[in-house]
A and B are shown apart, each in its own frame.
Chain A
Amino acid sequence: MYVAENNVTGQGINLDPWFNHYASRSAGLSASEVRALFAVASRPEVVSLAGGMPYVRALPESLVNGALEKVMKDNGPMAMQYGSGQGIPALREQILEIMALEGISASVDDVVVTTGSQQALDLVTKLFIDPGDVILAEAPSYVGAIGVFRSYQADVVHVLMDENGLIPEKLREAIAEVKASGRTIKFLYTIPNFHNPAGVTLSAERRPEILEICQSNGILILEDNPYGLLSFEEDVPPAIRSLNEDGVIYLGSFSKTLAPGFRVGWALAPHAIREKLVLAAEAAILCPSSFSQMVISEYLSQADWKGQIETFRGVYKERRDAMLEALEEHLPDLSWNVPNGGFYIWCSLPENLDSKAMLPRAVTELVAYTPGTAFFADGGGRQNLRLSFCYPTPENIKIGIRRLATVIRGELDLLADFAGTGSLTAAAGEDNVIAPPPDLS
Chain B
Amino acid sequence: MSSLNIAVLSGGISHEREVSLRSGRRVADALTARGHNVTIIDPDASLFATLKNLNPDVVWPALHGSSGEDGAVLDLLHAAGYNYVGPSAAAARLAWSKPVAKTLVSRAGVRTAPSITVAREAFRELGAGSVLELIASELGNHVVVKPASGGSAQGVSIVTKAEDLPRAMVDAFTYNDVALVEKFIAGTEVAVTVTDSASGASALPAVEIVPLDGVYSFEARYNAGETTFYVPARVSTEVSAKISEAAVSVHETLGLSQLSRIDLIVDEAGEPWFLEANSLPGLTETSSAPLAIEASGVELGQLYEALARAAAN
Name the CB-closest residue of A to B271: A2
Complex: how many Å from CA A14 to CA B219?
Answer: 15
Does chain B have a CB within 8 A of A427?
A: yes
The reply to whether A10 and B132 form a contact with Cβ atoms under 8 Å apart is no
Complex: how many Å from CA A11 to CA B169?
Answer: 37
Name the CB-closest residue of A to B11: A43
Residues of chain B in range 150-180 having any CB-CB distance to chain A below 8 Å: 152, 154-155, 157, 162-167, 169-171, 173-175
The reply to whether B269 and A2 form a contact with Cβ atoms under 8 Å apart is yes
The reply to whether B166 and A422 form a contact with Cβ atoms under 8 Å apart is yes
Whole-angstrom distance between the Cβ of A191 and the nearest chain B Cβ:
30
Give A contacts to B, CB under 8 Å: 1-4, 7, 9-16, 18-19, 30-33, 35-37, 39-40, 43-46, 357-358, 360-361, 363-364, 366, 411, 414-415, 417-427, 430-431
Does chain A have a CB within 8 A of B256?
A: no
Set of chain A residues within 8 Å of B216, measured between Cβ atoms: none
Partner of A30 from B14, B128, B132, B223 at Cβ < 8 Å: B223
A423/B166 contact (C-beta < 8 A), A31-B222, A39-B18, A431-B219 known: yes
The reply to whether A422 and B163 form a contact with Cβ atoms under 8 Å apart is yes
A417/B124 contact (C-beta < 8 A), A3-B188, A10-B233, A31-B219 known: yes
Flag the segment in B23-31, B87-95, B97-105, B224-232 that touches A. B224-232
**Beyond A2-B238, A30-B219, A414-B173, 4 additional pairs, beta carbon < 8 A:** A10-B234, A10-B235, A39-B21, A43-B11
Whole-angstrom distance between the Cβ of A357 and the nearest chain B Cβ:
6
The reply to whether A39 and B230 form a contact with Cβ atoms under 8 Å apart is no
Q: What are 6 A-B pairs with beta-carbon distances under 8 A?
A: A12-B228, A36-B18, A417-B120, A424-B167, A426-B167, A427-B167
Name the CB-closest residue of B to A30: B223
Set of chain B residues within 8 Å of A16, measured between Cβ atoms: 224-225
Whole-angstrom distance between the Cβ of A343 and the nearest chain B Cβ:
25
Partner of B174 from A2, A12, A360 at Cβ < 8 Å: A360
Whole-angstrom distance between the Cβ of B41 and the nearest chain A Cβ:
14
Set of chain A residues within 8 Å of B173, measured between Cβ atoms: 414
The reply to whether B224 and A9 form a contact with Cβ atoms under 8 Å apart is no
Whole-angstrom distance between the Cβ of A244 and the nearest chain B Cβ:
44
The reply to whether A37 and B15 form a contact with Cβ atoms under 8 Å apart is yes
The reply to whether A45 and B231 form a contact with Cβ atoms under 8 Å apart is no
Set of chain B residues within 8 Å of A2, measured between Cβ atoms: 235-236, 238-239, 266, 268-270
Whole-angstrom distance between the Cβ of B76 and the nearest chain A Cβ:
17
Set of chain A residues within 8 Å of B174, measured between Cβ atoms: 357-358, 360-361, 411, 414
The reply to whether A418 and B269 form a contact with Cβ atoms under 8 Å apart is no
Most buried by A among B15, B129, B231, B291: B15
The reply to whether A9 and B232 form a contact with Cβ atoms under 8 Å apart is yes
Partner of A417 from B128, B210, B223 at Cβ < 8 Å: B128
Name the CB-closest residue of A to B285: A15
Interface of A is mostly: loop
Set of chain B residues within 8 Å of A431, measured between Cβ atoms: 219
Whole-angstrom distance between the Cβ of A167 and the nearest chain B Cβ:
33
Does chain A have a CB within 8 A of B218?
A: yes
The reply to whether A423 and B15 form a contact with Cβ atoms under 8 Å apart is no
Set of chain B residues within 8 Å of A11, measured between Cβ atoms: 230-231
Partner of B14 from A19, A31, A40 at Cβ < 8 Å: A40
Set of chain A residues within 8 Å of B166, measured between Cβ atoms: 418, 421-424
The reply to whether B170 and A415 form a contact with Cβ atoms under 8 Å apart is yes
0 or 1 for each of B1-40: is its CB under 8 Å from A? (1 = yes): 0000000000101111111010000000000000000000
The reply to whether B155 and A360 form a contact with Cβ atoms under 8 Å apart is yes
Does chain A have a CB within 8 A of B244?
A: no
Does chain A have a CB within 8 A of B258?
A: no
The reply to whether A421 and B128 form a contact with Cβ atoms under 8 Å apart is yes
Set of chain B residues within 8 Å of A43, measured between Cβ atoms: 11, 13, 17, 44
Complex: how many Å from CA A10 to CA B227?
Answer: 15
Does chain A have a CB within 8 A of B195?
A: no
Name the CB-closest residue of A to B267: A2
The reply to whether B44 and A44 form a contact with Cβ atoms under 8 Å apart is yes
Does chain A have a CB within 8 A of B48?
A: no
Name the CB-closest residue of B to A363: B15
Complex: how many Å from CA A358 to CA B174?
Answer: 7
Set of chain B residues within 8 Å of A426, measured between Cβ atoms: 167, 171
Most buried by A among B164, B230, B238: B230
The reply to whether A40 and B17 form a contact with Cβ atoms under 8 Å apart is yes
The reply to whether B44 and A19 form a contact with Cβ atoms under 8 Å apart is no
Set of chain B residues within 8 Å of A423, measured between Cβ atoms: 163, 166-167
0 or 1 for each of B115-138: is its CB under 8 Å from A? (1 = yes): 000001001100011001000000
Set of chain B residues within 8 Å of A430, measured between Cβ atoms: 219
Name the CB-closest residue of B to A6: B234
Does chain A have a CB within 8 A of B208?
A: yes
Complex: how many Å from CA A1 to CA B187?
Answer: 11
Does chain A have a CB within 8 A of B278?
A: no
Name the CB-closest residue of A to B167: A424
The reply to whether A414 and B170 form a contact with Cβ atoms under 8 Å apart is yes
The reply to whether B234 and A9 form a contact with Cβ atoms under 8 Å apart is yes
Whole-angstrom distance between the Cβ of A316 and the nearest chain B Cβ:
28
The reply to whether A36 and B218 form a contact with Cβ atoms under 8 Å apart is yes
Residues of chain B in range 65-89 having any CB-CB distance to chain A below 8 Å: none
The reply to whether A13 and B291 form a contact with Cβ atoms under 8 Å apart is yes
Whole-angstrom distance between the Cβ of B201 and the nearest chain A Cβ:
23
Complex: how many Å from CA A44 to CA B12?
Answer: 11
Set of chain A residues within 8 Å of B249, measured between Cβ atoms: none
The reply to whether A45 and B13 form a contact with Cβ atoms under 8 Å apart is yes
Whole-angstrom distance between the Cβ of B52 and the nearest chain A Cβ:
21
Set of chain A residues within 8 Å of B279, measured between Cβ atoms: none
Name the CB-closest residue of A to B150: A360
The reply to whether A33 and B154 form a contact with Cβ atoms under 8 Å apart is yes
Set of chain A residues within 8 Å of B238, measured between Cβ atoms: 2
The reply to whether B170 and A33 form a contact with Cβ atoms under 8 Å apart is no
Complex: how many Å from CA A415 to CA B166?
Answer: 9
Set of chain A residues within 8 Å of B224, measured between Cβ atoms: 14-16, 19
Whole-angstrom distance between the Cβ of B10 and the nearest chain A Cβ:
11
Most buried by B among A414, A424, A425: A414
Name the CB-closest residue of B to A34: B218
Partner of A36 from B17, B165, B210, B236 at Cβ < 8 Å: B17
The reply to whether B128 and A360 form a contact with Cβ atoms under 8 Å apart is no
Complex: how many Å from CA A358 to CA B155?
Answer: 11
Set of chain B residues within 8 Å of A420, measured between Cβ atoms: 128-129
Does chain A have a CB within 8 A of B286?
A: yes
Name the CB-closest residue of A to B125: A417
